[in-house]
Chains A and B, each alone.
Chain A
């Protein structure tokens, strides 16, 4: 059974810092892993999708990596801004369990 874990549950950093969010999963038989951003009370915004055959994806200040063998993905945010404050969720798409989400990391960027 696929389980997805995100640690830490909450993170607060000063503006301008580079930071890394972590996502781990138990079953490496995945199709893809997707990172989302969620603002309070809102829907999810897709940030990056990494196919199982890929090692990383980049979009602007965001870089996501995938290591299937170790069951890990990281989301790197460069030069953080107050507007980056949100909850970040990772979701794993695997054949057996469909899409499983982690509980998210609540990120706060201090001005």
Chain B
């Protein structure tokens, strides 16, 4: 049983560019959440997708957007990249939106130069 997978593993982009990160949830899970983790900090909640809709959002600007597909996989898009967007981006999946254990992927390390 495959766990949560993310691609790519590492990514280097230039300021102003756009990036798309991908996540496949654990088998049987229908909810995907995205987090940003800066060096030395805990992960910060970006948003959650359930039934192909954004259900909750953290304090992130509209430059951060996402999508969930019918097979429950998800994408995170970031436009107009800033140096401060450099971080580890983590995807977590769960069965259900509320009060369920989350399982995390290995993350995508994004570096903006």
Contact = CB atoms under 8 A, between A and B. Distances in A.
A49 interface: yes
What is the interface of chain A mostly: helix, strand, loop, or mixed?
A: strand
Interface in A57-111: 89, 91, 93, 95, 98-104
Contacts, number: 57
A41 B88 contact: yes
Interface size class of A (residues with CB under 8 A): 20 to 34
B104 A99 contact: no
Interface string B62-74: 0000000000000
Given A41-B88, A41-B109, A43-B90, A103 B104 contact: no
Contacts of A26: none
Interface of A: 4, 31-32, 34, 36, 41-46, 49, 51, 89, 91, 93, 95, 98-104
Given A31-B98, A101-B43, A103-B40, 10 more contacts: A32-B101, A34-B102, A41-B88, A42-B106, A43-B90, A43-B107, A46-B104, A49-B101, A102-B42, A104-B41
